Structure 1
Amino acid sequence: MSLNFYRFRVIDKLLYWGIFAIITMPSLVSAQIRTDETLGAENSIVTPNIEINGILSDRIDGGAIRGSNLFHSFSDLNVAEGHGVYFSNPAGISNIISRVTGGNSSSILGKLGALGHANLFLINPNGIIFGPQASLDLGGSFVATTANAIEFNGQGLFSASEPNIPPLLTVNPSAFIFNRLRPSPISLNSAQEPVGVRYDEIYGETSIFGLQVPNGKSLMLLGGDVNLNNSQINALDGGRVELGGVAEAGIVGLSINGNSFSLNFPSNLALADVSLVQGSRVYTSGDRGGSIQVTGNNIRIIDGSSLAAETFGEQSGENITITARENLEIVGNPPYGIINNPSISILTYGNGNGGNVIIDTKKLLVKDGAQISNTSAGGGNGGQLVIHALESVEIRGITDGIFSGLTGGAVLAGKGGDINITTKNLTIQDGGQITVQSLGASNSNNISDAVATGDSGNVSIEASTSVLISDLGTGITSSTDGVGNAGNITINTGTLTIQKGGLITVSSDNNGTGKAGNLIINAAQVVNLMGTDSILAATGDGLRPAGSLTIKTGNLNVSDGAQVTVNNTKGQAGNLNIYADNLFLDRGFLTAETAETGIDGANINLQLSNLLKMQNESLISAQATGGANGGNVTLNSPLLAVLLPTGPNGSDIIAKAEAGNGGNILINSQGIFGITEGKAIARNRTNDIDASSEFGAPGRVLINNTIDPNQGTVTLPEEVVDPNTLVAQNACKRGTASQLTQTGRGGLPPTISENLNSQAIAVGLIDPAPSSVSQAENQAIASENLPLAQNQIAPAQGWIFNQKGEVMLVAYDPTMTSSQRVKVNPLGCVVP
């Protein structure tokens, strides 16, 4: 941007603050400091216009001393721009506590200080404003609050709403009392360097502007809404900054541990909002990095604003802790050409370990180039990045080539910090990233002749409902390009969706010898991987083995050119393990590829409870290139169904090799449909199972069909009728032969060699039909004398019970009353 642009922004700011000064000038001129006479003989004494530390100032003496506490009371307390206000610090005083009892807010536009090492408390329930030239000159910690009173551990209160002479308040302050339904705000306005490119980006060191306390001390702002606008707050070398907003009447606890002050917010207390806008910055650094804590209902860190803690020495750093009851919004896109640093960052340069970034909120949004970072750039280990978002985490957007995201890294010997996320729904899109990495030497970090030996951290995601990764350049990655190893990525969720070029990868690059991490995905319901360039991968480009990839889910859907892959171009690739109920490949690819000569190929292990379905030129490949041996493919699935090819190539399962030996393919399935063993040749329009090698020995294809295809069929005897039972020599006998016909499915076994089984129909016994004639009557037969054949065999016409209760077959119908007991044979068919 042009110089005229920066000049315009500076003029714009000067005009703004000139108007602000004109509006506020009358009240400031008429009453900078005014005592309220509430302390009686111990009233404060103001001596104006004396030079203190090189600036024309007002000195405040007197006050009420109680033990190590000194109390002051004013109806108005303001500090004019270019002017100073200093409190005297008698011997033995640890805390200087000032209240404002009038109805006006306090405007701190110049320098506020104390002439000693005491802590300074400023209480004004009507609000506190820090202007663009506001600064602190203290030997101790500083607290500004719009609470109504301060409690002293059961000894009593020092109240600005009900002013009185303080009782025997000899102990440290222990709590802040808010009586108003809506406490007044605290605001900081433009208390930092001029707009434009940051000082540290030009000179390579951090610029210090705005409010600052001495090294190791605390700076605390506690009010209603707390707003930082183009402002900076600093607490160096183990110092602490805490910002907190209260939205209703209540009590906030205060703990004082040496030089460290910390607040305790009850869980049932309504919180107000905290905002850092227009490039505001809260910064702690030193041999021992300081701590930062921000507590509010909605917290916004936007327009390139940041929280940063850096450690340079041997001591361990402190934490950055953010608690947002509702929403935490972190937005990059810095204004006015300010070069943006990571929005929330802990950076460890020395041998001391870095602190942790801890975020607790309902919804977290990181967008437009904002980043949350925890990096080790020295011998010390990086801290943890821990996010607990009750409902959602959303990461999206790129600004000026800077991605939005969460990062952790190791640049030298220290181990990079882990990233741990717990939420219901995680969404990463539009170029957002979560990444951990072990880096090589980097001139940008003033590191020369150095190699990264530290391992990168791990990424652990617990998203109970869903994880969505969408769009090119968007994803979750763990990598190494140094000696250090890459970390693992573990995702536990209900549904994982990767689409439109999103990715999750663990990798090792060709610049280093570090080992890649493993990728582990547990999705209770489904994993959906859709679209070209959408990838789940464990890859390597170095001599060390690449990591493995394991997926456990209900259904795995890979479609429209998406890939699930493990590979290594120079060393051993990891294994691909999938445990699912169903696996659907619709132009989807599962690959495990190795390229290095003499290296065994990677393996694919598919354990499915129901079905593997392939279509539209899908591929399962453990192929090896160069001199590497092909990997092995193991498939256990009740059903394998491959649809007919719709394009020039079919859907294939291969474990091929070029110069090495082919791999082995083992398939255990109850039913295999649409695919057979054969060479997978380009454009052959067939579905093939191929374990061949172009120049080496082929592998083996073993298919175990655990179900007999003939199970359930009826085995018929080779000879339907025994020829010895046929009456073949006498046509008359054949004509009078009896017949027995089986119909239906029951009554007889399916074959003559089997017993009845559970499929045969059981027929119960029936009672014989009643007969009206118990015995046949004697009848005379009028006929010629005909000889009766002896030993004549007649077919049964019915059955009766004999006297023993046995069933007997008879050659007549027992239900007829006419005589049937004489059977006349046809002529020429008498049995001898």
Structure 2
Amino acid sequence: MINARNGRIAFSGAGAAFSGVNPGAVGKGGNIILIAKSLSLDSLSGLSATTSGKTEQGHQADAGNIQLNIADSLSIRGGAQIRSDTYGEGNAGSIIIQADQARIVIDEIVFFNNVPITSGISTGVSKDPILGTGTGQAGKIQISARSLTLTNSAFISSSIFGDGSEAPEAGKITINAAQSLTLDSLASIRSTVEYGGVGRSGDIEINTKNLTLTNGSQILASVFRQVGSFPGGRGTGGSIQINASDSVTLSGVSSVKYPAGVINPFTSEPFQTEGFSTGLFANTERGAIGSAGSITVNTKVFRITDGAVVNSQTLNSGNGGNITINATVLELLNGGQILTLTRNSGNAGNITINVSDQVTVSGSDSGFFSRFSRFGRDVINNEGASSGLFANTDANSTGNGGSIFLRTTNLNITSGGLVSAQSLGTGKAGDITINARQNYNANDGQILAASAQTGGGNINIAARNIFLRGNSDITTNVFSGAGNGGNVTLSANAIVALNDSDILAFARDGQGGNITLNTRAFFGQNYRPAPPGTDPATLDGNNRVDINASGRISGIITLPDVSFLQNSLTEFSQTLVDTSTLLANSCIDRTRQANGTFFITGSGGLPERPGDAPVSAFPTGEV
């Protein structure tokens, strides 16, 4: 233990404090405890507590814990790290940083022999040809601070690399940042089952006032893909919970570039650093085995912009995780997305949105297509360029799509925004359920639960009023195969559709879905029923509103009875009224018949004070 409660402790130039259990040894490693006003680690320095020991006769060969009590500031820079790892049968130690009033900064990356060394904090079940392969559990990470900032590929990590014959678990990461938590430029907080690892990734819990992620930074709990000769991870992804009392902002994609010649030592290839979306991820990737974890966000204002995402997807036989958002305001702008997705046989998870005030989905990511052409599907996880909610299945997948549940006061989908639960594979599309206590407003916005081959999902929208403008479609089509179109049910006081906005539930070779409009007032601009057998491809761009449920067997379309409006209209008289006969030439006030008083005050002419005679703009006199 080092106690410098009112002073400063600094490690630099590869200086370190180390506690370890050697290979084959039995016994617990010692703890590292530092108490200081400020602590600085720089230039490849570090704190390390490891174990390569074995368990024997009930004696656990655990690594020691690392405990820091900091009053003012903690700085970890220049490739410096705080680590606790197990390479043996014992458990890794925990890392506990108590800095309630302090500012913590983790920053800077150095390149040693063309290999990047990033600054960070980690605990893990690891694998090394000399130290051995870990089978114990990773330690937990607990950090309390006033503010915490990670930049330039800095990390906080709990991971599993070992082969895990006893199914180890990555430790939980808990961060309490009273004012703010900020990640920038590929910084990350991660709990993962890495390539070659077996086990369960730990959970991540964030408690703060304001959370901000930019420039490709990520919070992730994932099971990773194969890398080089290393197989994909096997295990279950952890869950992510974000509690931010004021705001959460996710923005942009990575523009970080490492210098030429920098390589990944595991693949001998250059590091891929550009193009990654900023976001929250709970994925299980291609070549891995296991299900993804869930993501929950609780905040007031949640803003996702410029290609950033919240993503829980499966690229294997495991199921994708669920996403739950509880907020006052949710904004998905310029390609911001919330998505669950399956690209394989696992099922996509569900998306649940509970927003008390307003949800806005608008715009698209202008750089998406150029980024996709450069980096491909392995780097670009977004579902196209549009802002939106997506619970989709990919082409060539067999899993089912997820469902979307959205509850809010006002829902606005504009400028290419999209809510989608469609299936492009052989699995069934999910359902979309929307409850807007006030209005659903769409202007060039789409809601889709369509399917390429199997049954379309159902769409249920309930709102006080529904306004569809600017080619805003609601669609549950099935484009091929014998699957049935999904049902569409709209419930509102009034439903208004303009500018080629269509409601479609057709099925190419199956039965069209049913379309029901539960409303007393429906207006569709230039609306007229399409004849049976109409090709739905001809219904777009025809400058009218179409409602179509055609198929080999047509679905049932139920529209409101508006005859009460037609029957209550009275035809205008053909005889014009001569308005001059309605005007008197004078206003006579007879002297002996005091039936009341009439004053002409002119435009806005009122008495200056109560009791004053009003001033008339016209001459008056007795008759």
TM-score of the two chains, using structure 1 as the length reference: 0.53
Q: Percent identity?
A: 27
Instruction: Letter of the 2:405 partner, please give it.
Output: T
Matches of 2:52 and 2:31, distance apart in 1 = 9
1:437-475: CA deviation from partner (whole Å, max 9, x where unpaired): 11232xxxxxxxxxx331111001011x11000002x11
Match of 1:454 among 271, 290, 295: 290
Corresponding residue of 2:415: 560
Matches of 2:65 and 2:470, distance apart in 1 = 65
Query: Is contact 2:63-2:92 (8 Å) kept?
Result: no
Corresponding residue of 1:425: 247
Cα drift, residue 410 of structure 1: 2.2
Corresponding residue of 1:746: none
Match of 2:103 among 295, 298, 303: 298
Instruction: Letter of the 2:565 partner, please give it.
Output: P
Matches of 2:569 and 2:201, distance apart in 1 = 69
Match of 1:621 among 475, 478, 481: 475
1:223 aligns with 2:39: no
Match of 1:370 among 166, 171, 187: 187
User: What secondary structure does 1:380 align onto?
Assistant: strand
Corresponding residue of 1:440: 286
Within a 5 Å distance, the mapping from 1:759-770 to structure 2 comes to none
Cα drift, residue 677 of structure 1: 4.8
Cα drift, residue 705 of structure 1: 4.4
Query: Is contact 2:280-2:310 (8 Å) kept?
Result: yes
Corresponding residue of 1:530: 362
Matches of 2:407 and 2:563, distance apart in 1 = 27
Corresponding residue of 2:151: 331
1:53-83: CA deviation from partner (whole Å, max 9, x where unpaired): xxxxxxxxxxxxxxxxxxxxxxxxxxxxxxx
Query: Is contact 1:144-1:220 (8 Å) kept?
Result: yes
Matches of 1:487 and 1:478, distance apart in 2 = 5
Match of 2:3 among 134, 137, 145: 145
Instruction: Letter of the 1:221 partner, please give it.
Output: L
Within a 5 Å distance, the mapping from 1:268-287 to structure 2 comes to 271-286=71-86, 287=88
Matches of 1:688 and 1:347, distance apart in 2 = 54
1:369-417: CA deviation from partner (whole Å, max 9, x where unpaired): 101100124332111111000x2000001xxxxx211011124432111
Match of 2:550 among 664, 679, 692: 692
Query: Is contact 1:669-1:706 (8 Å) kept?
Result: no
Corresponding residue of 2:206: 387
1:289 aligns with 2:145: no
Matches of 2:19 and 2:469, distance apart in 1 = 67
| Cα-Cα RMSD | 2.3
Corresponding residue of 2:137: 316
Q: Check 1:263–1:413 CA distance in 2 against 1; reply closer, same or farther (3 A cut).
A: closer
User: What secondary structure does 2:421 align onto?
Assistant: strand
Instruction: Letter of the 1:624 partner, please give it.
Output: V
Matches of 1:433 and 1:677, distance apart in 2 = 45
Matches of 2:234 and 2:411, distance apart in 1 = 39
Query: Is contact 1:238-1:318 (8 Å) kept?
Result: no
Instruction: Name whichever of 677-686 and 499-508 sits farther off.
Output: 677-686
Within a 5 Å distance, the mapping from 1:346-361 to structure 2 comes to 346-349=158-161, 350=164, 351-361=167-177
1:778-797: CA deviation from partner (whole Å, max 9, x where unpaired): xxxxxxxxxxxxxxxxxxxx
Cα drift, residue 660 of structure 1: 2.6
Corresponding residue of 1:466: 301
Within a 5 Å distance, the mapping from 1:90-169 to structure 2 comes to 143-147=1-5
User: What secondary structure does 1:225 align onto?
Assistant: strand
1:22-80: CA deviation from partner (whole Å, max 9, x where unpaired): xxxxxxxxxxxxxxxxxxxxxxxxxxxxxxxxxxxxxxxxxxxxxxxxxxxxxxxxxxx
User: What secondary structure does 2:559 align onto?
Assistant: strand
Matches of 1:697 and 1:343, distance apart in 2 = 57
Corresponding residue of 1:665: 515
Corresponding residue of 1:113: none
Match of 1:214 among 20, 34, 40: 20
Instruction: Letter of the 2:206 partner, please give it.
Output: I
Query: Is contact 2:36-2:71 (8 Å) kept?
Result: no
Within a 5 Å distance, the mapping from 1:540-559 to structure 2 comes to 540-541=393-394, 542-559=397-414
Instruction: Letter of the 1:190 partner, please give it.
Output: G
User: What secondary structure does 1:697 align onto?
Assistant: coil
Matches of 2:68 and 2:563, distance apart in 1 = 67
Q: Check 1:232–1:262 CA distance in 2 against 1; reply closer, same or farther (3 A cut).
A: closer
Matches of 1:710 and 1:625, distance apart in 2 = 38
User: What secondary structure does 2:221 align onto?
Assistant: strand
Query: Is contact 2:33-2:68 (8 Å) kept?
Result: no
Cα drift, residue 543 of structure 1: 1.1
User: What secondary structure does 1:316 align onto?
Assistant: coil
User: What secondary structure does 2:450 align onto?
Assistant: strand
Question: Any gaps of 5 or more consecutive residues in structure 1?
Answer: 1-142, 148-182, 193-209, 240-257, 334-341, 398-402, 442-451, 715-832
Corresponding residue of 1:516: 348
Q: Check 1:626–1:236 CA distance in 2 against 1; reply closer, same or farther (3 A cut).
A: same
Query: Is contact 2:283-2:314 (8 Å) kept?
Result: yes
Q: Check 1:410–1:259 CA distance in 2 against 1; reply closer, same or farther (3 A cut).
A: closer
Cα drift, residue 600 of structure 1: 2.0
Match of 1:678 among 529, 540, 545: 529
1:196-218: CA deviation from partner (whole Å, max 9, x where unpaired): xxxxxxxxxxxxxx331123221
Matches of 1:549 and 1:259, distance apart in 2 = 45
Matches of 1:262 and 1:314, distance apart in 2 = 20
Within a 5 Å distance, the mapping from 1:576-587 to structure 2 comes to 576-581=432-437, 582-587=439-444
Query: Is contact 1:438-1:456 (8 Å) kept?
Result: yes
TM-score of the two chains, using structure 2 as the length reference: 0.70
Cα drift, residue 315 of structure 1: 2.6
Cα drift, residue 703 of structure 1: 1.7
Corresponding residue of 1:82: none
Cα drift, residue 682 of structure 1: 2.9
Aligned pair count reads 459
Matches of 2:202 and 2:452, distance apart in 1 = 37
Query: Is contact 2:251-2:305 (8 Å) kept?
Result: yes
Instruction: Letter of the 1:516 partner, please give it.
Output: A
Instruction: Letter of the 1:603 partner, please give it.
Output: N
1:310-355: CA deviation from partner (whole Å, max 9, x where unpaired): 114333221111111x21001125xxxxxxxx61111123221111
Q: Check 1:261–1:624 CA distance in 2 against 1; reply closer, same or farther (3 A cut).
A: closer
Query: Is contact 2:49-2:66 (8 Å) kept?
Result: no
User: What secondary structure does 1:561 align onto?
Assistant: coil
Corresponding residue of 1:234: 48
Cα drift, residue 551 of structure 1: 0.7
Matches of 2:409 and 2:514, distance apart in 1 = 27
- Look at both structures and tell me which one has the larger radius of gyration over its CA atoms: 1
Instruction: Letter of the 1:388 partner, please give it.
Output: N
Corresponding residue of 2:452: 595
Matches of 1:525 and 1:238, distance apart in 2 = 54
User: What secondary structure does 2:478 align onto?
Assistant: coil
Matches of 2:139 and 2:186, distance apart in 1 = 25
Query: Is contact 1:274-1:295 (8 Å) kept?
Result: no
Query: Is contact 1:496-1:527 (8 Å) kept?
Result: yes
1:489 aligns with 2:307: no
Matches of 1:289 and 1:486, distance apart in 2 = 29
Corresponding residue of 1:404: 217
